[in-house]
Amino acid sequence: MKQVSSATIFYVIAIVIVVGLIGFSVTKKAAPSPYDTFAQCLTDKGVKMYGAWWCPHCTNQKELFGTAFSKVSYTECSAPNSQSMNQTCKDAGITGFPTWEFSDSSRLSGEQTFQTLSEKSGCELPTI
């Protein structure tokens, strides 16, 4: 009978643990953001954000929302590895980033606070 070395047992256990951790992280659901409802309300009310991947103000705006930003209606205005504006944003008349557009066609340029977005859209701010 062949004897199994302790190193082999160690590696098998390590592999099982790593596979288990990967499986857990893939199936674990992220906790909902306290801003999910607010972000969804903005989208439901026709609010859109135009931005560019290279824009630091757009990054700040996205980070303000955290994971809830996935619920915001967002249009990317630059192709990857390019700082030129795409035709969609040119046609929309976007001249700077970020640009927030509201259902009444009014716009706000630059980073906006939740308070400003709430007042302009009518979406209620979450109580945190």
Where along the chain do its domains lie? 36-121
- Buried b vs exposed e over 71-96: b needs ≥16 C-beta within 10 Å? bbbbbebbeeeeeebbeebeebebee
One of 3.40.50.880, 1.10.10.60, 3.40.30.10, 1.10.150.20 is the CATH number of 36-121, namely: 3.40.30.10
Report pLDDT digits (tens) over 67-115.
Answer: 999 999 999 999 998 999 999 999 999 999 999 999 999 999 999 999 9
Q: What are phi and psi of 114, to 5 degrees?
A: -60, -35
CA distances from 26 to 1, 14, 17, 105 (A): 40, 18, 14, 41
Report pLDDT digits (tens) over 9-46.
Answer: 767 676 767 555 565 655 556 678 899 999 999 999 99
Q: Identify the three-state secondary structure at position 78.
A: strand
Higher-confidence residue: 6 or 106? 106
Q: What are phi and psi of 75, to 5 degrees?
A: -120, 120
